[in-house]
Amino acid sequence: MVVTAVRRVLVPLVRTLIGFGISWPMLANLVKAVYVEVAERAFALPRKPMTDSRITLLTGVHRKDVSQIRSAPAAAPDVVAAASPSLGSQVLSRWLADDGYRDEAGRPRPLPRVGRTEGEVSFETLVTGISRDIRPRALLDELLHAGLVAERPDGRLELVEGAHVPRGDLDKLAYYYGRNLADHMAAAGHNLTGAEPPYLERALAYDGLSAESVLALRREAERVGMDMLLHLNRMAMELADRDEERDDAHHRFTAGLYLYDAADPPAAAGGPGLPAGQAGTAPAPGDANAGNANAGSDGAAPP
């Protein structure tokens, strides 16, 4: 069953790889190295050094290849995939979340470049409240050039709707593709093994719909989904500020959303155990049955 599930996961992955010209030999070498890396990091025995032979036993990778991979110099870190968010991302996040930079309706407030009076919020105070290592004007030029911020005729600056979603920048899109899918798969794998506590991982699947109905669902999901993410963003920012001086503040948190739709072949409509037009949501771990379940594992998020 696990192999069948993995094969299903690989289909969209391979489709993406072929689309970007990543061939099987390139992927095979990458997967081989990752097998060795994961075995060495995650499956070492307590108080015993990890040997090439044990890695071969765990992974099936030939011992000669294991030795070559382990002795190879470490790859240079990818600048785009830096663990800490960029200053631009932090500025956009605070503009979306901080009450001082939002209007009465909770929308990002148009800001002057520089405040005219002491204490007036501005783009300058937004940036310097996060870091004084870069001039606000330099960052603003980058955000304007990227189309993330627009300047109104009256000189005030507006956050472009959807600015927090990277578009057209392949490096950023690839970074989020890797980060988001990796965390999603880590949570799903955690739940699949029955580890406790389970992570929240819930999906709704519904077929027998028209293209018009799917479009309506997408619009509604985007609306309520962004409301949730903006709420969590505000909460996370407040908690991060509170935890700034704590010695144990070395954890990270990810919450995400995704949507997908496709026109299934008539013979595939419904799928096993799910007649056309029926909904399916994921059962909670431990449930024997939760209606017409056809989604992945799910559970309450840990506190």
Q: Is 160 helix (H, G, I), strand (E, B) or coil?
A: coil
292 vs 55, which has greater pLDDT?
55
CA angle, 107 as apex, 103 and 113 as ends, to 5°? 70
Strand blocks (E) in the chain:
149-151, 157-159, 204-206, 279-281
Question: What's the confidence (pLDDT) of residue 292?
Answer: 36
51 vs 272, which has greater pLDDT?
51
The whole-chain average pLDDT of the chain stands at 82
Q: Is 105 helix (H, G, I), strand (E, B) or coil?
A: coil
24-42 and 63-71 helices cross at what angle (nearest 10)? 80
Query: pLDDT tens across 64-80, in order?
Result: 999 999 998 875 444 33
pLDDT range class, residue 166, cuts 50, 70, 90: low
Cβ 157 vs Cβ 123: under 8 Å = yes
186 vs 170, which has greater pLDDT?
186
Query: pLDDT tens across 243-274, in order?
Result: 998 999 999 999 999 999 999 776 544 455 44
167 vs 110, which has greater pLDDT?
110
Question: In DSSP terms, which residues pair with 279 in a beta bridge?
Answer: 206
Question: What's the confidence (pLDDT) of residue 165?
Answer: 57
User: What is the arithmetic mean of pLDDT over 88-99?
Assistant: 85
C-alpha to C-alpha distance for 34 and 258, rounded to whole angstroms: 26
167 vs 9, which has greater pLDDT?
9
Listed by start position, the domains of the chain span 1-75, 87-159, 169-207+264-303, 209-243
pLDDT surpassing 70 at residue 83? no
